[in-house]
Structure formats: C-alpha cells, structure tokens
Amino acid sequence: MIRNFNYRRASSIEEALSLLEKHKEDYKIICGGQSLLILMRQGLVAPENLIDIKSVEELDYIEYHPKSGLKIGAATTHRKIEKSPVIKKHFPVLAAMEKNLASIQTRNWGTIGGNLAHGDPAGDPAPILIASNATVRMASAEKERILPLEDFFVDIFETALEEGELLIEVQIPVLPQKTSLAYQKFNIIKNHQGIVSAAVSITMDEDGERCKGARIVLGAAAAIPLRAKQAERLFIGEKFDTKLLERVGKKASEECDPVSDIHATETYRRILVKTLTKRVAKKAWEQAKTSG
Ligand SMILES: Cc1cc2nc3c(=O)[nH]c(=O)nc-3n(C[C@H](O)[C@H](O)[C@H](O)COP(=O)(O)OP(=O)(O)OC[C@H]3O[C@@H](n4cnc5c(N)ncnc54)[C@H](O)[C@@H]3O)c2cc1C
C-alpha cells in the first residue's frame, strides 16, 4: 500500500527547483512514475513530498545541431525518442533501442530522465549513451553542473544526483568521423530488460583499416553500466580479425562483475557478455569501415 504523501506539481524548472529546495529533507521527484510507483507500492520508498515534473514543458524537447549534437530534455518520453525523425537520422541506434524498451504504454509515459535517474544497471539507454560519450546536465536552486554520464552512476540504483538536484538534459556529441555504434540486449521476453546488454562504439583511422578508438559498455553486468576498458584497449591500433574479437569478448567477460539472480547466474551472464561483446563489436566495426 502507498503511504500518504503531499503532492506538489511544478509547471516550470524554476518552480521545481524551488519545491526541491523547500522540501529538501524528504521528497521524491516523480515524472512518468513507471519505476517510482512500483517502489512506492512495495513500500520501499515512502516520501513525505512527491514533486511532479511531468507538466514541465521546458524539460520535454529534442534538439539537434550539426556542431554540438543532440540534446534531449529529461522529461522526454521513450516513445518520442523512438519516433523522432532527427534521432532516426543521426542516432538510429538510439531510436532502435527505444523501440525494444518495455511496452508502448510504458514508453508513452516513462522518460529518459526517469530511466537514468532510477539508476537501474539493466536500463537500456545508459550503455548506448555512455558509448556515445554523453553528458548530463543537472541543476539545483544553487548551481548547475554537467557530468559525463559515465560518472553519473554510483552504485546499484544510486546516482550522482545530490539533494535538491534535478536532471535537466542529456547531451550527446556528434559522433567522430568513421565512427559507428551498435547495441544489443539479450532478453528472454520481448521488450523486457536485458539479462545482459552491450553497446560498442568503434572509430576507425582515416584509411578505414585500423581501430583508432573504442568504447564497450555493458548493461546488467555489474552494479552500474560498466565500461570494459581493458577490452577496449585491445582494439586500439589493430586490424579487424576474428581472433581479436575473441580476445576482446573474453576480456570483457573477465572484466565485468555480474550477480546471480532469478534471471541468470553469474557464470551465464559472463558467457553472455563474451558472446554479445563479440557480436556487437563486429557489427560496429563493419559499419564504421564504411561510415563517413
Ligand atoms: C513493465 C515495465 C517494463 C520496463 N522495461 C524496461 C526495459 O526494457 N528497458 C529499460 O531500460 N527500462 C524498462 N523499464 C523502466 C522504464 O524505462 C522506466 O521505468 C522509465 O523510463 C522511468 O521514467 P519515469 O519518467 O517513469 O520515471 P519515474 O518512475 O517517475 O522516476 C524514476 C526515478 O527517477 C527519478 N527522477 C525522474 N525524473 C527525474 C529528473 N528529471 N531528475 C531527477 N530525478 C528524476 C525519480 O525520483 C525516481 O527515483 C520498464 C518499466 C516497466 C514498468
């Protein structure tokens, strides 16, 4: 049962920040409620004040600029990202990921900001966004700051958001030349969260022969979305071959730190990490060779 709470609805960022400041001692932000309401119903979270930001139109936008890249307001729904022509054109992997995230009902109401702020290591957007070198903009009544998304996740269901802070925007820079990004999750039930997921970004040198940069980010393979940095390093300066892929997959499976739970054992997850990393990296590599 949900415990009684005071409901406050903000209609602007300014109003939201002042409500957060006023109720600093005991509040919870709610946007789409797709994650929070489950926790409240289970009695795991029982805030005195619930601050609703769903009507803050200033937080609902998708903007693209050829130099600065993509900016997505925190209250933008998954469905809007999935359907956005700009995202389909410039970050097709993001639109494709959204299409496989939850049901249409959840995508219609759940938001990108809520997904990231929830801090679930199995969330779909984080691995792709970290592989894209995304940053997040946060604000409180006192200050504003920007953080690489990679540093936003602190522990399971714990983020770098401080008391009184609101997640405002996700920023994705334009991908470097000859870069491609791929993502895949392994799930048993369609559109459910992945048992494990992997996002890989590969940047080729000018000739399209050797790898110049790589980012491998794993979902549900540790307490936070995890960059497999040792595996990434194996790619640098190398030409593509299947033995290299094998080594990279193996390293990623050693580097991750998965748990055993009702969905899969730790061992099974490590095997999945190896397979998915190889598969997704191969796809990113092949695409990067031919990309502009
Ligand atoms: C049936 C079901 C299936 C799902 N399947 C998937 C899936 O396949 N893949 C996946 O990635 N996710 C999945 N999800 C999770 C879903 O994506 C998230 O629940 C949703 O995106 C959260 O957004 P929200 O706006 O509803 O957040 P809320 O539930 O309103 O909030 C979630 C958390 O974020 C905080 N918060 C929200 N907005 C902000 C903000 N702007 N600034 C600071 N804190 C904020 C809240 O305080 C709360 O702690 C699923 C959820 C359900 C219910």
User: pLDDT (tens digit, 9 = 90+) per residue, 15-44?
Assistant: 999 999 999 989 999 999 999 999 999 999
**Other CB atoms within 10 Å distance of the CB of residue 156:** 13
Q: What token pair was written down for 152?
A: 């936003």
Q: How far apart are CA 87 and CA 91, in angstroms?
A: 5
pLDDT of residue 289: 80
Give the confidence band of 189 by pLDDT, cuts at 50, 70, 90.
confident
The mean of the pLDDT values for the chain is: 96
What is the residue with the minimal CA distance to atom 18 of ligand 1?
115
- Any atom of ligand 1 within 6 Å of the Cβ of 137: no
- Any atom of ligand 1 within 6 Å of the Cβ of 74: yes
Comparison of pLDDT for 292 and 133, the residue scoring more? 133
Q: What token pair was written down for 200?
A: 């890989």
- Any atom of ligand 1 within 6 Å of the Cβ of 40: no
DSSP the chain: -PPP-EEEE-SSHHHHHHHHHHTTTSEEEESS-TTHHHHHHTTS---SEEEE-TT-GGG--EEEETTTEEEEETT-BHHHHHH-HHHHHH-HHHHHHHHTSS-HHHHHH-BHHHHHHHT-TT-SHHHHHHHTT-EEEEE-SS-EEEEEGGGTEEETTEESPPTT-EEEEEEEPPPPTTEEEEEEEE-SSTTSPPSEEEEEEEEE-TTSSBEEEEEEEEESSSSS-EE-HHHHHHHTTPBP-HHHHHHHHHHHHHH--PPP-SS--HHHHHHHHHHHHHHHHHHHHHHHHH--
What is the per-residue pLDDT across 162-176, written as a single tens digit (0 to 9) for each? 999 999 999 999 999
Ligand 1 centre and the CA of 98: distance in Å?
A: 13
Contact 244, 282 (CB under 8 A): no
pLDDT of residue 133: 98
What is the per-residue pLDDT across 225-270, written as a single tens digit (0 to 9) for each? 999 999 999 999 999 999 999 999 999 999 999 999 999 999 999 9
**Other CB atoms within 10 Å distance of the CB of residue 26:** 11
- Any atom of ligand 1 within 6 Å of the Cβ of 111: yes
Q: How far apart are CA 212 and CA 237, in angstroms?
A: 6
Ligand 1 centre and the CA of 102: distance in Å?
A: 11
Give the confidence band of 75 by pLDDT, cuts at 50, 70, 90.
very high
Closest approach atom of ligand 1 to CA 109: 26
- Predicted structure pTM score: 0.97
Q: How far apart are CA 244 and CA 274, in angstroms?
A: 13
Q: Give every CB contact of residue 213 below 8 A, 6+ residues apart in sequence.
A: 176, 179, 201, 202, 203, 236
Closest approach atom of ligand 1 to CA 165: 43
Burial of 255 (C-beta count, 10 Å sphere; 0-12/13-18/19+): buried
Ligand 1 centre and the CA of 278: distance in Å?
A: 29
pLDDT of residue 123: 97
Q: Does the structure show a pLDDT above 80 at 214?
A: yes
Closest approach atom of ligand 1 to CA 45: 49
Measured in residues, the chain has a length of: 292
- Any atom of ligand 1 within 6 Å of the Cβ of 32: yes
Q: Give every CB contact of residue 58 below 8 A, 6+ residues apart in sequence.
A: 12, 13, 73
